Structure 1
Amino acid sequence: MSKVIIETSRLIIREFNLDDLEAVFEFSINEDVTRYTGDAGAIKTREDAKGVIESIWLAEYKKYGYARWALQHKQSGKVIGFCGFKNDDRIQATDLGYRMLPEFWGQGLATEACTACLQYAKQHMALDRILGEVVVQNTNSANVLEKLGFKFVSEYPDLGVTIKRYELWLRQLPSG
């Protein structure tokens, strides 16, 4: 069993492990799930999914103590996606990201998972600022970020799409 990070009323948020291979493959090849992500089409095989689990998430747990975490739906027991943080060298910051299978959209699960992750970060992680980035057409994810208290910062072109950047300060930095 993987390390449980947080439990909410409807979700177990835990570290991924190789037993999650089929779930990662399922949500990663779903075009509705990856439509607005920077890595749509990156996972084509189960071996690709295994590579993400091993070389990204498990490696980042060891290096940073966090990465994207599995979202396990309590009622069904199914891993339905991910939520959590990524220390992203490309943007020189830590970002909050999430994905889940379409049959779980529109139930408030993204907000529930992100809220729990942010509360966890405030209590257990040495992070001051979190970014959230969304493709401009992904208004549902932008709405989730705004509901969580993220503030719009900028908009910029990247790989043929326009990205909206939001930020949330978990702690105030000392002045001076």
Structure 2
Amino acid sequence: MGHLQPPHPPGAAPVSVILHTPRLTLDELETDRDAGFILALLNEPGFLENIGDRGVRDLEGARRYIEEGPRASYAGYGYGLWRATERDGGRPVGLCGVLKRDGLKDPDLGYAFLASVWGRGFASEAARACLDHARRALRLGRIVAITTPGNVASQAVLKKIGLKAAGVVRLPGKDEDSAYFVSEG
């Protein structure tokens, strides 16, 4: 995938940086480094309401989520959800990336940000950069996205970056439809 390797302290494992935006760095999640952040993000009310309960209740569960989700996706597909970190200050603020989701033929653009940074444009900035990365670097054609039907803010982000509403879809094992968006490559 051509990861850039930033300078790192001697003895520290290098972090795989995927891309930079004007205000964010997106890099691969690291199991131990990011467990606390993932625990907090996955248990925020907005995540639970709009994305779903992943059953992560402690640091061990967060480590398992990272290993079985994003890290397995990196290994299997060469992409996944990446940690979005503020370039000014280095604070992790969300996740954004491309997923291969059961029930969707095409790769899926996904994101989630801490409520404390909502309204600052990070979701649009990261999603636009990930969509461009998926097309140019990963050579993926059609990219799709899903949201809960009531998540108007997330739908606005998808429309802002050029995806088009294309009805609804029901994923395997789900009881409710998701709003479905598409972007031709």
Counterpart in the other structure of 1:167: 182
Alignment match of 2:47 (pick from 33, 56, 73): 33
Q: Establish whether residue 61 from structure 1 lines up as the match of residue 74 from structure 2.
A: yes
- Aligned-pair distance for 1:76? 2.7
Contact 1:153–1:167 under 8 Å retained in 2 = yes
Amino acid at match of 2:167: S
1:134-173 aligned at under 5 Å gives the runs 134-156=147-169, 159-170=174-185
Amino acid at match of 1:154: G
Q: Establish whether residue 109 from structure 1 lines up as the match of residue 128 from structure 2.
A: no
Amino acid at match of 2:38: V
Cα distance in 2 for partners of 1:41, 1:13 equals 22
Shift in CA distance, 86/101, structure 1 to aligned 2, threshold 3 Å: same
Amino acid at match of 2:34: D
Name whichever of 50-59 and 132-141 sits farther off: 50-59
Cα distance in 2 for partners of 1:141, 1:45 equals 27
- Aligned-pair distance for 1:145? 0.5
- Aligned-pair distance for 1:119? 1.3
Task: Please identify runs of 4+ aligned residues in structure 1 that moved more than 3 A.
Answer: 156-162
Cα distance in 1 for partners of 2:150, 2:169 equals 13
Contact 1:57–1:67 under 8 Å retained in 2 = yes
**Structure 2 unmatched ranges of 5 or more:** 1-13
User: How large is the Cα RMSD of the aligned pairs?
Assistant: 1.4
**Structure 1 unmatched ranges of 5 or more:** 171-176
Counterpart in the other structure of 2:6: none
1:6-155 aligned at under 5 Å gives the runs 6-18=19-31, 19-37=33-51, 39-155=52-168
Per residue, is there more strand in 1 or in 2? 1
